[in-house]
Amino acid sequence: MSAYSEYQLDQIWLNTTRPLGVLYRLEHPTDARMDESGNVIYRSRYGQAHLSHSWEVDHRNALALGGPHNTSNLRALACTANRSLGGLLGNFLAELHQQK
C-alpha cells in the first residue's frame, strides 16, 4: 500500500519530463518519463524496486533536514537513485551524531 494517493502520484508524475528517445516514445508514449537525474522511469512501475525503470517518491529537501512534506517538495526518482541518496543522508547524519 502506498503512502500517497493516486491523485498525489499523478501530480508528482506530471512534474517529470518526457524522455527524448524515440524508442521510449513509441513503446511507452504515456508511461515513460525521465526523473531529475536523467533516469527513464515508467509510471506503471511505481514502488516496484525489483524492476528496472521503477521509481519512488523522493523529498527534494529531506524531511530529516527540515524539508516540508508537500507536493512542491516531492519528485519522482528512480529507485536506485533514491536509495543512493538516502544512504548518503544516513551516513551524513550518523557522522554528525558521532561528532556531538
Q: How far apart are CA 28 and CA 24, in angstroms?
A: 5
Contact 21, 8 (CB under 8 A): no
Other CB atoms within a 10 A radius of the CB of residue 41 amount to: 26
Annotated domain spans of the chain: 6-99
In tens, the pLDDT along 11-69 reads 999 888 876 665 555 566 678 888 999 898 999 999 999 999 999 999 888 887 888 98
Amino acid at 66: G
pLDDT tens per residue, range 53-90: 999 999 888 887 888 988 899 999 999 998 887 656 65
